[in-house]
Structures are given as C-alpha cells and as structure tokens.
Amino acid sequence: MIENPMDAATSSDPRIGLRAVRSLRELADRLESLHVNRARTLDMSWQEIADSLGVSRQAVHKKHGRR
C-alpha cells in the first residue's frame, strides 16, 4: 500500500492513480461547497462566486443553488 499521496498520484499503476484522482476530485468538491456556502452566508452574489471560480453564474447556481 502506498502511504504518500504524491506517490499515489504518480504511481505507474493506473488503479492507484485513478483512485488518487477520485480522492482529489471529492476533496475539491467538498472545498467548493464549503466556500460557496460561506460566501452565500456573507451575502456574496452568485456572480461574484462564479467569477471567483471561473465559471458562469448559471453553472454555479445550478450546482449549489438548491442548498
């Protein structure tokens, strides 16, 4: 088993590398949700959030607007 996350990300075994990608994606999604929720709590507009994420207002609202 690989202990170091960097070793997992650069492993020659694609199964290990793909699991590392999945873990990073899940972490990124959690961080995005956390900060979008915080931004809305601080009354940031959907446009401000979208600009910060580099996406359209519609995209960020579609993904996070139901929460």
Structural tokens at position 42: 């601080």
Sorted by sequence, the CB contacts under 8 Å of residue 11 that are 6+ apart come out as: 2, 17, 20
Residue type present at position 42:
L
Give how many domains the chain has, as a whole number.
1
**Residues spanned by the domain of 47:** 5-64
Q: Are 16 and 2 in contact (CB under 8 A)?
A: yes
Query: Which of helix, strand or coil describes residue 51?
Result: helix
Name the more confident of 2 and 55.
55
pLDDT digits (tens, 9 = 90+) for 11-66: 899 999 899 899 999 999 999 999 999 999 999 999 999 999 999 999 999 999 98
User: pTM for this one?
Assistant: 0.80
Structural tokens at position 65: 């607007």
Euclidean distance between CA atoms 67 and 57, whole angstroms: 15
